[in-house]
Amino acid sequence: MAFIYDRIVRFQDTDAAGVVFFSNLLTICHEAYEEMLRWRGIDLKLFFQHPDFALPIVHAEVDFYQPVFCGDRLQVCVLPERLGTDKFKLVYQIDRGSKEVAAVGPVAQAFTVHLCIHPQTRQRQALPVLLQDFF
């Protein structure tokens, strides 16, 4: 199920040229991931400090199609995709919030791959039950 996150680009997100600094777009994507979890009723503090599992990002990629500036309204569409028993991918399509500008296509697309591990042993393990209905 897709989740939509709305975000206004802040001055702190931009570089000296006035456009979003490349790594900050991944930060915005991670914000969307956290909001998706919260929207699904997951307590973020418990989730990210869970003693039985951790979900580190093992791969991240971003393609930029248009510059993004301070004050731009963004819509981040998050699409979860299961990649097996212990891994999932989140695909992020980033569009401008304005319908007139959005017609020219997305400003960027990104994805992150998350692997489920045990926090103490760092060994792979099956995704927790609370994520089973995400895919």
Domains of the chain: 3-134 (3.10.129.10)
Residue 90 has pLDDT above 60, yes or no: yes
Grouping H, G, I as helix, E, B as strand and the rest as coil, residue 15 is coil
Q: In this predicted structure, what is the pLDDT of residue 99?
A: 60
Place of tokens 């695909």: 91
The DSSP element (H or E) to which 44 belongs, if any, is: helix 44-48
DSSP secondary-structure letter at 112?
E
> Is-catalytic flag, 86?
no
Q: In this predicted structure, what is the pLDDT of residue 1?
A: 82
Catalytic residue among 6, 13, 15, 86: 15
Percent with pLDDT over 70 in the chain: 96
pLDDT band at 66, cuts 50/70/90? very high
Place of tokens 């914000």: 31
pLDDT digits (tens, 9 = 90+) for 97-108: 866 555 678 999
Mean pLDDT over each residue of the chain, to the nearest integer: 94
Of 12-16, 66-70, 71-75, 96-100, least confident by mean pLDDT is: 96-100
What's the pTM value of the predicted model, to 2 decimals?
A: 0.92
In this prediction, residues 63-86 reach a mean pLDDT of 97
